[in-house]
Amino acid sequence: MFQYGLAGFLQPFMDYKSGFCNFDCTKCGEVCPTGAIIPLTREQKKTCQVGVVMFIEKNCIVYTNETSCGSCSKHCPTQAIKMVPYKGKLTIPEVKEDICVGCGACEHVCPALPNKAIYVDGNIIQKVAKKPEIKKLEVKKLDDFPV
C-alpha cells in the first residue's frame, strides 16, 4: 500500500516473493482503474519489459553449495536465463537481459536464502524486449523400429 510513500498510495507494486507475472495474462491492464497499467494484447505483453533480470553468482546455491539447481532457467518463459557449464557436471545461470520481460518467475522460484541469487530490477519506464530466437528441433526419421 505505501511502498512508494504517501504520494504513491495504492500504486501497482510487483512482489515476486508471493508470486510472479503470468506470461499469458493481461488482466492487470484490463482492470486497472487509474490507467497506471495500460491494457496490452497478449502479443504485446510477451515483449513488454517491466524489468530486467540480475544474477548474483555468490548467492547462487550452485556456487555456495556446489549442487545442481536450474529452477530459474526452467521457469523463464522467454529463455532469458540459460544454464551454462560451470564446474564438472554443474551448470550455472547465464542471463540475456535484452529478451527478459521482468515477469519475476525466476526470482519467485529461486531457492537461495536469505538473499535471492536472481532478481528483477524494475524499469522506471516500460521498454520493449527482443523476441527470443526459437530454434526448431531437427526430427530424425528412423528406418526401422529397434528390436
From first to last of its 147 residues, the chain has per-residue pLDDT tens of: 566 677 666 666 778 988 999 989 999 899 988 777 889 999 999 999 999 999 999 999 999 999 999 999 999 999 999 999 999 999 999 999 999 999 999 999 999 999 999 999 999 888 999 987 766 667 666 666 555
The answer to the question of residue 27 being in a domain is no
The answer to the question of residue 48 being in a domain is no
**Structural domain containing residue 95:** 55-130
Count how many domains the chain has.
Answer: 1
CATH number at residue 86: 3.30.70.20
Q: Provide the residue type at 6 as one letter.
A: L
104-133 pLDDT, tens per residue?
A: 999 999 999 999 999 999 998 889 999 877
